[in-house]
Amino acid sequence: MRLSFNQTYAVNVAAIGKAQERLQMASAKLEKQTKILTPADDPSGAARVAALDQQIDSTGQYQVNSNMLSNSLDVEETVLRSIQSSIQQAKTLVISLGNGANSQTERAAIAGQLANVRAEIFDLMNQRDSNGGYLFSGFNEKTQSYEYNESTGYYDFKGDEGQKFLQVSTSVTVPANDSGKNIFETVDARNKAINVTPGGGITTAVIEVASQSIFDGFYSQKYDGVTPANNDYRVSYTAPDQYAITLQSGAPLVPPVGGTVLPGQAVNFNGLKIDHIGTFPGQIDFSLSQPAKKNILNTLTDVINAVLRDQLNPEQLREVLVDTSVQVDRAALKVGETVSALGGRQNLISSISGSLEDLKIANVEYRADIYELDLVQGITELTKQETQLQVVQSTFTKVTQLSLFDYIR
């Protein structure tokens, strides 16, 4: 087959062009240190790299979320631990108020210290996070969590029950805050017997909670929020030495409650100690207190007012101090439960963060295997293409010199 000069020239020029393209591609890959310049170079690899990039970006965002969340929870835990410390200080002061040797002046001084503790707790309940939002206001973070109501003399919660969540992995979201509604406003007031009224030969009656835990268990089972009459009880004493406890309506308890008792002897009933003075027959009526919630600020306000106003007899003051002591303990327990929950969240974040870092490292390495160019391999390929171009150019020079005139010479 005979090739014209033009055909020979065109074939060799095309070969040089292709060699130059391969050299430029090898040079570009080496410069950018990548195996894939365009998706056309490796469609499957390019798709895998795009998916890995998306996963690496998502993992990075989850890590940012985790760090932000961990810092936020650290702030909340620090504030709550400070509140715990203040509540414990308040408990110590309440106990000291029960010292019968204290004069009114000394009790007033202790009440002043309690007021200072209350101010500390009030300030802590209104702490802000790093973004300037109130820690315990729920979704309503721009509103101060607690405010003093001058018309009532009590402290009111102004936030909401909202709880924000932050995603820290593909399938895990973690609470980012705790509303003061759930921490401070769900503390149960002390359950007790109220409206104690003696009758018949009984002239004086005193009912105190001898075991708060036993009485609370009874209360949780028996308090009737639908039919108030079922919360009204009567202790009936009959001569010479019998007693029975029924509802004031006359309905017996199930099982029946009664037995033998001497005048002046106390009756124990589900954690209550029922004392009397008088003769038989007679009775004592009492009712179960209504369920109530009270935050620590208002609990301290009640005892401070009771002491400073100095209008209660020793027995009434003692009852206020017992109420306060129980409610302070419950407030501390609620704060402690929240601190424990925060610790659990921090442990979860730490565990997930470790997994995310491992996943990110694995994805980056896998992406490098697909996309990134090994320098040695790249230099070798560049050298190879340079050599091939030189060979093609040399061949072209020799071929273009093949002419009959060369032989005539």
* Per-residue pLDDT band at 18 (split at 50, 70, 90): low
Helix (H, G, I), strand (E, B) or coil at 163: coil
Q: Identify which of 160, 192, 156, 94 has the alpha carbon closest to the alpha carbon of residue 297.
A: 156
Alpha-helix residue ranges (DSSP H) falling in 33-125 = 43-97, 104-125
Angle subtended at Cα 398 by Cα 392 and Cα 400, rounded to the nearest 5 degrees = 100
Kindly state the percentage of the chain with pLDDT values over 70: 76
Residue 392 covered by a domain: no
User: Tokens for 41?
Assistant: 């170079």
- Residues 162, 106 share a domain: yes
Q: Identify which of 318, 327, 91 has the alpha carbon closest to the alpha carbon of residue 212.
A: 327
- Residues 239, 168 share a domain: no
- Residues 64, 168 share a domain: yes
For the ranges 2-16, 49-63, 150-164, which has the lowest average pLDDT?
2-16
The Cα 237–Cα 283 span in angstroms is 6
Q: What mean pLDDT value characterizes the chain?
A: 85
DSSP classification of residue 190: P
- Residues 226, 151 share a domain: no
Angle subtended at Cα 200 by Cα 197 and Cα 204, rounded to the nearest 5 degrees = 45
* pLDDT at residue number 46: 62
Residue 140 covered by a domain: yes
Residue 382 covered by a domain: no
Model confidence at 405: pLDDT above 70: no
- Residues 144, 200 share a domain: no
DSSP classification of residue 127: -
Q: To which residue do tokens 């424990």 refer?
A: 340
**Cβ proximity of 117 and 110 under 8 Å:** no
Residue 83 covered by a domain: yes
Residue 26 covered by a domain: no
DSSP classification of residue 372: B
* Per-residue pLDDT band at 128 (split at 50, 70, 90): very high
* pLDDT at residue number 238: 93
CA atoms within 13 Å, Cβ hemisphere of 88: 8
Number of domains the chain contains:
2
For the ranges 3-7, 92-96, 199-203, which has the lowest average pLDDT?
3-7
Q: Are strands 232-238 and 173-175 parallel, antiparallel or unpaired?
A: unpaired
Show which of 272, 291, 310 is a domain's final residue.
291
Q: Could you list the residue range(s) of the whole structural domain that residue 281 is in?
A: 193-291
- Residues 144, 97 share a domain: yes
Backbone angles phi, psi at 167, to 5 degrees: -80, 125
Show which of 291, 311, 345 is a domain's final residue.
291
Stretch 391-399: mean pLDDT: 59
Residues 6+ apart with CB under 8 A from 407: none
Angle subtended at Cα 11 by Cα 388 and Cα 36, rounded to the nearest 5 degrees = 45
- Residues 265, 210 share a domain: yes
- Residues 117, 92 share a domain: yes
- Residues 66, 172 share a domain: yes
Q: Identify which of 110, 152, 121 has the alpha carbon closest to the alpha carbon of residue 303.
A: 110
* Per-residue pLDDT band at 361 (split at 50, 70, 90): confident
- Residues 94, 66 share a domain: yes
* pLDDT at residue number 61: 86
Residue 215 covered by a domain: yes
Stretch 396-408: mean pLDDT: 56
* Per-residue pLDDT band at 16 (split at 50, 70, 90): low
**Cβ proximity of 183 and 257 under 8 Å:** no
Residue 242 covered by a domain: yes
- Residues 157, 85 share a domain: yes
Helix or strand holding residue 278 (H, E): strand 272-288
Q: Are strands 173-175 and 193-209 parallel, antiparallel or unpaired?
A: unpaired
Helix (H, G, I), strand (E, B) or coil at 164: coil
